[in-house]
Structure 1
């Protein structure tokens, strides 16, 4: 957990992320002791890197996520379930207006990486 893992994100041409699902210790400040306290949490962040949702990530649990992206109104809605529980909304509509509008804000959906 001493590394940051980007699990899923949409990457527009400008290299930013429309949203990201992240796990581990972010490399924002290399002087922090690693792993950081929240390293064992799955985190969903918006384009502005605001934390929208986090949940513990213990060994042996299965997590499912859905991220509803409204490209017209530039909002996100996060859904989550653990193990065999039904997928449910864990946020309301969240602002994502820092994402570039139109096709400039859309991009490739990517899975898995570490930084």
Structure 2
């Protein structure tokens, strides 16, 4: 059964009032960073994937004037944007014209690293940019992990009009789904404007479960339900950004379907990091 915001339960894990759990990877951006930081070899994210062919991340990233997210105490939020040129081409014979996409992948996350072993907690926050609104007639994936063989996503945070009809509520909703091979709703909340939506996902790769923590703005994270069964097998890589799927008729959605012209859309991200929940440690606040 999907967890709703009103179902705030105490988690059966040890909690940390402040962030003291060991880090698996860091994705919070230095306070003095410029967009060019994402192009450099010292970037916290992969400098080549996944963005439009011939684009640099400095052409995709902007720094909006917003308050810091929950865990951005000495770091700064950033915005990922997409436009008509956001056509990813992983190879010359695989040009993904059905999608418009720009997603950051942590530099240390190569698909077989420890981020998909043991018990890990993934933290991230996101916020709307009303100056670059999403087109909610489309389905978007905003945070997800993709298996090493590219066959499925073990979880996906979505918004908009879902193509498979698995969510029939208001499209302006953040919907966290389980493994998309057989998706179930783990949590949903209205994608309200002017609000930081803070998430922590406890990913138990040993027991194949996912537990969701959520809060808004500067409030500490709270559990919204118990750990739910969820197939997390397959290793893989974490994606943070915009994957906009097509509408209309298509067979291969990566190359077919309809995308409008004149796209200028964005989502603001902050507080991205993963901690090792050894000893069942989960940070609820900075």
Q: TM-score, normalised by structure 2?
A: 0.35
Which has the larger share of strand?
A: 1
- How far, CA to CA, are the matches of 1:17 and 1:107 in structure 2? 9
Q: Indicate yes or no: 2:6 matched with 1:6.
A: no
RMSD over aligned Cα, in angstroms? Answer: 1.5
Report SS of the residue matched to 1:18: strand
Q: Which residue of 222, 229, 234 corresponds with 1:88?
A: 222
TM alignment of 1:14-29, pairs within 5 A: 14-28=150-164
Instruction: Give the corresponding residue for 1:111.
Output: 240
Report SS of the residue matched to 2:220: coil
Q: TM-score, normalised by structure 1?
A: 0.83
Q: Which residue of 169, 176, 192 corresponds with 1:44?
A: 176
- How far, CA to CA, are the matches of 2:188 and 2:143 in structure 1? 14
Q: Structure 2: where are the runs of 5+ without partners?
A: 1-135, 246-286
**Of 12-21 and 68-77, the range deviating more from structure 2:** 12-21
- How far, CA to CA, are the matches of 2:150 and 2:169 in structure 1? 31
Instruction: Give the corresponding residue for 2:192.
Output: 58
- How far, CA to CA, are the matches of 2:224 and 2:191 in structure 1? 16
TM-superposed CA distance for 1:61, in Å, is 1.2
Q: Could you say which structure has the larger radius of gyration?
A: 2
Q: Structure 1: where are the runs of 5+ without partners?
A: 30-35
Q: Which runs of 4+ in 1 moved over 3 A?
A: none
TM-superposed CA distance for 1:66, in Å, is 1.1
Instruction: Give the corresponding residue for 2:212.
Output: 78
Cα deviation, 1:25-70, whole Å, max 9, x if unaligned, reads 11226xxxxxx64211101111121001001111111101111110
- How far, CA to CA, are the matches of 1:95 and 1:82 in structure 2? 25
- How far, CA to CA, are the matches of 2:203 and 2:158 in structure 1? 17
